[in-house]
Structures are given as structure tokens and as C-alpha cells.
Amino acid sequence: MIATPNYLGGADVVPKDDEPHPAFTVTSREYAHEIYHDVAQDEEIQNFLNKTAYYDLSKGEWSIPEFPKTTLDVVGPLSEILPTILAFFVKPSHPGVVREVCTTMEAAGAEEDNDDGYRTLPFLVLKAAGTSFQMPGPDEDEEPGDEEPADIGFSNIATCFLVNTEPKSGEEEDEMEILEELASYSRRILRDQPNRMYVRSLAITEDYVRLAHFDRAGAQITPRVNIHGNPATFVRLVAGVSSADERILGFDGSIHWTITEGRKEKGTLKTRDATGEVKEYPILEEVSTPGDSICGRATTCWKVQDPETHEELIVKDSWIPEDHPPEHELLELVKGILGVVQMVSFEVGRGETKDFRCPTTWGRYTNRVATRVVMKSHAHQRLGNDDIRILHRDVSHNNILLGSDGAPEGQRGILIDLDHAFRATDAHPRPPADSNIGTRLFQSISVLTSGYSRSGKRRDHDYLDDLESFFNVLAYLFLVYRPDGSRLPSDDVGAAMVLGWDTPGPAASACLKGDMQMSLGGDGFRAPKLVEASWGPICAGLFSQFRHWIFVQRHEKEVLLQSCKEVTANPVSPLLSKCSEHYSSVLKMFDDVIKPLAACETTPTPTSTPSSGTVASSGAAEPTLKRRSEETESPEASRVKSRRINLGSPSPSPRR
């Protein structure tokens, strides 16, 4: 499987427990022959081979040149062979369901390279129509430079046929290269088909075929199968990845849409309600969630409406490692707590990645389990109360929501997503700090330091780390957005400061955040001025006060850590004993600001947008403020990336 930090930026950090596994698994030799055995019976296949003009039974070979000079010499014959297989074996029984093999040689923009260095579209794809597909449209999240054809895009591609010629004499086929290119396409398919659980594609040459599979645990590939000597297997593989049944293609059967003029119009989602009964909810919208990675939790949220009460709810789907505690258990503990998301129901037994894979590879990847939680659609300190003892560990801008209009005090801001939360017990009272848990952009400096420090001192993740993450969220809001809610350009000085924290390695992020927390120069000098220019003096005062408070607590924590001689003791206990005092101090900062802001009749509007020319101290310093994607990857990042398939986001962007 692939389990790698996303070196292209913008996705969740992958937990360390995924790291020891290989970049991908190779199935047994029998798997390719068995996986789609029920798609077509032996008698049907023999009947097809007897009738088709594209397979010579006497010679035992398909009508493909034995020694093609170029890839297109293989693409041409396959563009004729594959449709005949579909016409014989793939017969949709529902109106509006279509499966069509298409060539992309003349498709607009297909010849251009995508961000991974491959063709925007492979030479052959299976275009599909049905309840989970839609034509590409102007509102589709297209990538810069990618001009998708009007009728073919990743929102309506069911599978890809990656065509190449056989390696030259003496060369070996590169499995990694095949998976890298197919991962580039599969990532985009999963992005644009949000109810898809896995993607399967075929890599075909003039002599061989391999089935590649991508899911939230990574990738697997079959050994090479000779298509001339095993025509029945070839037919089954083509028919299987082209099936008219969306479940066989890897779709979640509980989610469907009504298609109007090729576009999704009305969607429905079936799940269990609070009584345990299955209920169908109309989908109001897909809630934006960060990350386009293949491997990981792949959290997708849906805003739905209860058909009986008309209450709006959030349905959260995700894939968690099988050895992690399910989120619904933690949500059960926090029921009734103000300011924390409230669970309505949950659903288990929705599937596991091992269900989609070759049994001989079990145990060679991190198995992930599909989970679903239904929550109300709308305080951190209350999680830490003695009877609950939960530490969130992933405070980020996506996990803090505004309450409903007119919500009472205590429900005006909601903390969600307990996927990474830790529940303390007497046996395990403190979780160790782990720079691979959480969202890089918002992690505390202490948590980041745990990823590269060689001091041998144990660092625990405590509530002060979460409070520092709240400050980082505040900095993100003040420096990346304007008061009217519009987002600043990513190369704006303030935005570049914050977005630069989203680095592959923890050391660089810690260094940049440390510069922000210092007030003597650099980012620490410029940031308050930028906040004041955009948000006004009241917000700038909150920013500076909260920043100074975080710096003081972090400094005291470091002093205690470095002075500790006992390995088993908790050196920061004297600091953590002030928990109530700390929360009171932070809450007071915000209360003191909310009151005067509430008295204002209008939202503060900046007189001008700050620019690098108004705040940057010198032209020489400005490159340090640019987005970190412009820098060369660290040696560590490059070294790991060279060993693993890139299942990260297709372009370097901050979490949305």
C-alpha cells in the first residue's frame, strides 16, 4: 500500500502506524483470473471468441501488432477490441446508464501534462453515465492549466486503460511507474466522484494486462497476464472494470443522484437514524473537506435534511485504521456538552479495504474501516473535565464551525471531528506528542518538535498544544482572509506567512511558527501590523495578546522539559496545574474583544489591502514570505518520495 505524508501539501499528516508497510502490494497470480469470474460465464466467453473478428482462435492471439513501433499502434486496435467486449458483456438494464470506450487523442487539452507530469487524460478511458456520474461542468474544481474536454472529465470516467508497448529487450516493466501514472488519474477520479470507495484500471501492452487497484489503504497490482494465452481472463477484466453495476465499480450504494442533462441535480443518502431504522435523506450539498489524497481517512461530509422534521444534519463518512477507536465511541461520551458536536446516530459494518483486495495480501497494508456518523449541523475546555478526559489533538479551521443563526451562548461555535482525539485513562493518562497526528498548518511548536528532536526527552501532547492550535487558527483567519470573508491571494505577505507553515517536514514549520510568535523582528514584527491594517486595532490587540500568552506558556514549558532529570516524571506538571487559570485567561481575551466589537454597528473595513511593499522590511527578505511550494523539497522528503507512490494532492495547496 501507499502510506506517505503528502509532500505536495494540503492534506492530513499520515499517522506513523502506516509507515512500515510497502508502497504497494502485488496479488497472487490466481487473483486476476478469479476476481471477475462471475461477470461472464465460460460458455459466454467462448461464444464471444468464436464470433469476434478480433481474436484468432487458430493462432490464439488478438488483432494487435506483434511488434508495435509506438504506443498508438496498440491504442488503435484496442479502441476497436474493447468496445466489442462491452457490447457483448456490459448491457445496462436501467435507463440513463452508459459505458463507452473513448479515445482522447483529439480531446482538447489531453496532450498537456498534468501536475504529476503525465498526460491530462490517458489515451483510452471508459466514459460513463449513471446515478453517480456527471458531465464536466463550469463549477467542477478544475486544476490550473487543465482544460478538460467538454464531454470527458474525471467526473464521468469510470476507469482508465493505460496503454504502453512492451519494454525493450533486456529491460523490465516498471511496476512503480505504472502505479504512479494510474495514481495520478485515480486520485482525480476519487476527488470528483465523492461516493467512490475504490478505483480499478487496466495497464495493457500488446501482450500483457495488469489490474491496478486504488483505495484508501493504498494500491495493489496483479502480476502480468498474457492476453493472447488467457483471452477469457482478459475479457473478464475488461468487462469487470466496465460493469454497468456501480457497486462493482467501487461506488457506495447508499448514495445516488438524479441526473438532469448530464449533471447531478438531486441526491439522496440512506443511513440509520437514531432509532436504528434505515432512512433516506435528501442531500443538500457536499460539505467541502480538505485533501485530494488517495490514501488516508478521505473524510467526506454531506449536509442532509431529515425528511420528517426538516432538520439539517451533517453525515460524515471516513476511513479509519482498524486499530483506531471509532469516532462514534468518543462522540457518545461528549453528548450534551455545549460547544461540542452532537451525534444523532452512527453506522458500522460499511466495509473495509480488505474486502476489496486479494486475500493473500492481508496484513501487508493498514486495513481501513468505513465509518459513518450523523451529527447536528452546527468548548474545548469541557472535553478535558475529569469525567470525560478527552484531548482533541486536531484543532484546525475545518474543525471549528459556526453555530446556527440565533444559537444560544455555548452553541455559537462548535468543535467537531474527534478522529484523532485521545481519551485519557489511569493506565494511559498522557498521549505522547506526535508530529504525524493533526494538521501541519495548525500544529503547535512542541508537537512539531517531537518529529525531529534528538534530545531523548519525552514530549506529551497536552491542552496547551491545542490552545496554541487555536492561536494558529486565529492567525490563519486574520492573515489569510479579509473581514468580509473573502480570501487574500496566496502570495499576499500575510497569507504567505501562514500558508508557509504547511511544510512536509516538521522542523521548517516549527521554525516559521517560532518566528511568528517572536515580536522583535521578522514575521513577528510584521504580522500585527498586517492584522491591524486589515482588521483594525481591536483585533490586532487580540492577536498580539494571544500570541504573547502562547509564547510565555511555550517558553515555560521548554524550561521545565529541559531541566527535568527524571525520565518517568511529567516535568510540565507545575504548568499544567494551572489549567483553569489558563482557560480563563484565554477566554477573557476573547470576551474583552467581543464586547467592543458587538457594540460596533458595522464590520471594520480595511482602507487598503496590505502588500509586500507596505510591510516587508526589504526586498531581500521577501522570498522568505513566499509560499513554501516554491522551495526545494527537503532531502528527507525527496528520499521518502522516491521510494513511494505519490498518493497526495495533485497540486500544492493549503487545506481548504
Residue 403, pLDDT score: 61
Q: Are the C-beta atoms of 513 and 448 separated by less than 8 Å?
A: yes
In a domain, 5, yes or no: no
In a domain, 21, yes or no: no
What angle, rounded to 10 degrees, do the helices at 579-599 and 537-563 form?
170
Q: Are the C-beta atoms of 48 and 42 separated by less than 8 Å?
A: no
Residue 367, pLDDT score: 95
CA distance 546 to 533: 18
Question: Same structural domain for residues 530 and 402?
Answer: yes
For 492-512, write each residue's pLDDT tens digit.
999 999 999 888 888 998 889
Q: What is the DSSP letter of 362?
A: T
β-strand 225-226 against 208-215: which pairing, if any?
antiparallel
CA distance 465 to 469: 6
Q: Are the C-beta atoms of 415 and 434 separated by less than 8 Å?
A: no
587/222: higher pLDDT: 222
Question: Same structural domain for residues 466 and 547?
Answer: yes
Q: Are the C-beta atoms of 276 and 346 separated by less than 8 Å?
A: no
Q: Are the C-beta atoms of 257 and 131 separated by less than 8 Å?
A: yes
Domain-terminating residue out of 253, 286, 312: 253
pLDDT at 61 over 50: yes
State pTM to two decimals: 0.66
Secondary structure (DSSP) of 89-134:
H----STT-EEEEEE-TTSTTTTSB-TTSSBSS-SEEEEEESTT--
CA distance 163 to 186: 15
Question: Same structural domain for residues 327 and 189?
Answer: no
For 273-294, write each residue's pLDDT tens digit.
989 899 999 999 887 665 678 9
pLDDT at 92 over 80: yes
CA distance 1 to 23: 5
In a domain, 386, yes or no: yes
Question: Same structural domain for residues 273 and 326?
Answer: yes
Residue 293, pLDDT score: 83
In a domain, 12, yes or no: no
Least confident stretch, 294-308, 355-369, 482-496, 586-600: 586-600
Residue 137, pLDDT score: 77
Given pLDDT bands bounded at 50, 70 and 90, which one contains residue 15? very low
In a domain, 161, yes or no: yes
CA distance 239 to 258: 25
CA distance 508 to 34: 49
Question: Same structural domain for residues 212 and 232?
Answer: yes
Given pLDDT bands bounded at 50, 70 and 90, which one contains residue 240? very high
Smallest Cα–Cα separation from 358: which of 655, 33, 15?
33
Domain-terminating residue out of 222, 253, 284: 253
State the total domains in the chain: 2
Question: Same structural domain for residues 130 and 185?
Answer: yes
Domain that holds residue 473: 263-641
In a domain, 654, yes or no: no
For 415-428, write each residue's pLDDT tens digit.
666 565 555 555 55
Residue 22, pLDDT score: 57
Buried b (16+ CB within 10 A) or exposed e, 207-224: bbbbbbbbbbbbbbbbeb
Averaged pLDDT for residues 139-150: 47
Distances (CA, A) of 203 to 78, 125, 274, 506, 648: 12, 12, 45, 37, 21
Question: Same structural domain for residues 113 and 244?
Answer: yes
Question: Same structural domain for residues 585 and 516?
Answer: yes
Question: Same structural domain for residues 206 and 280?
Answer: no
pLDDT at 118 over 50: yes
For 307-358, write each residue's pLDDT tens digit.
999 888 889 899 999 988 887 777 777 677 666 677 889 898 899 999 999 9
Q: Are the C-beta atoms of 259 and 278 separated by less than 8 Å?
A: no
CA distance 285 to 283: 6
Given pLDDT bands bounded at 50, 70 and 90, which one contains residue 17? very low
Task: Output the nine-digit C-alpha cell for 240.
Answer: 469487470
CA distance 656 to 649: 12
Domain-terminating residue out of 253, 273, 295: 253
Residue 209, pLDDT score: 98
CA angle 374, 414, 463 (to 5 degrees): 115
In a domain, 323, yes or no: yes
Compute the mean pLDDT over every residue in the chain, rounded to the nearest whole number: 79
Residue 639, pLDDT score: 27
pLDDT at 77 over 80: yes
pLDDT at 456 over 90: no
CA angle 446, 447, 453 (to 5 degrees): 75
Question: Cell 499576499 maps to which residue?
Answer: 492
In a domain, 166, yes or no: yes
Question: Same structural domain for residues 73 and 101?
Answer: yes
Question: Same structural domain for residues 345 and 413?
Answer: yes
Secondary structure (DSSP) of 50-91:
HH-TTEETTTTEESS-SS-SSTHHHHHHHHHHHHHHHHHH--
CA distance 56 to 25: 34
Question: Same structural domain for residues 447 and 307?
Answer: yes
Averaged pLDDT for residues 76-91: 97
CA distance 5 to 294: 11
